[in-house]
A and B are shown apart, each in its own frame.
Chain A
Amino acid sequence: GEDVEQSLFLSVREGDSSVINCTYTDSSSTYLYWYKQEPGAGLQLLTYIFSNMDMKQDQRLTVLLNKKDKHLSLRIADTQTGDSAIYFCAEITPGYSSASKIIFGSGTRLSIRP
């Protein structure tokens, strides 16, 4: 079945780059997403990448996709205290009905050291 895996914790110094990694198993995934969850809040979409792309850049965020290894990463440049959150990798898998479902990883808790 589908599976999305992430490490649970990451700690970086303020101003450094953060790199959050994710692996997935379903090669038929069409879109891959990064969601951010701040304390006490629901999830919000940060960015996404089509499965036929290798890289996407959006301001401080860079998403890299290695389809061969089924590896996705999110790089946050110049990490700030406001980036402290849980980051979820997610993939869309073709549904066995007319709907598709989103599969989430376990989430990586990013903490920032002064």
Chain B
Amino acid sequence: DVKVTQSSRYLVKRTGEKVFLECVQDMDHENMFWYRQDPGLGLRLIYFSYDVKMKEKGDIPEGYSVSREKKERFSLILESASTNQTSMYLCASSFFPQGANTEAFFGQGTRLTVV
């Protein structure tokens, strides 16, 4: 059974804290993605990675960074958390290259609240 696992379902952090969101996949996928999901805005891509140590900015990378030291793990880092980063964060992975059968598999999501 394929699996994308996010380390936490719920997190509450204080403004200014450094926050790490971890994602692990067991499918040997090359591509990994971080999205945030907000009501009415759908999923917005923060960063993605197509190989170890490779990363590309998505549509809203400001205030975030990522790390991909191992193929199976993709971390999202909030350098200094702010209240406007309160959101649901979704990690996904897929094979490369993209094709009809290379669907993205999603984790359960981490609901982050910054107070």
Contact = CB atoms under 8 A, between A and B. Distances in A.
Interface of A: 4, 6, 8, 30-31, 33, 40-45, 48, 50, 88, 92, 95-107
The 5 tightest CB contacts between A and B, nearest first, are A42-B106, A99-B50, A106-B42, A104-B43, A45-B103
A43 B106 contact: yes
Interface size bucket, B side? 20 to 34
B48 A101 contact: yes
Interface of B: 4, 30-31, 33, 35, 40-45, 48-50, 54, 56, 58, 90, 92, 94, 96-100, 103-104, 106-109
Contacts, number: 73
Nearest to B43: A104
Contacts of B96: 98-100
Given A88-B43, A105-B42, A107-B43, 10 more contacts: A31-B99, A42-B108, A44-B106, A92-B98, A96-B56, A99-B30, A101-B58, A102-B45, A102-B98, A106-B41
Most buried by A among B44, B48, B92, B103: B103
B4 A42 contact: yes
Contacts of B54: 97
A48 B40 contact: no
B105 to A, nearest CB: 8
Nearest to A41: B108
B42 A88 contact: yes
A110 to B, nearest CB: 15
Contact of A106 (B40, B58, B103): B40
A45 to B, nearest CB: 4
A86 B90 CA distance: 15
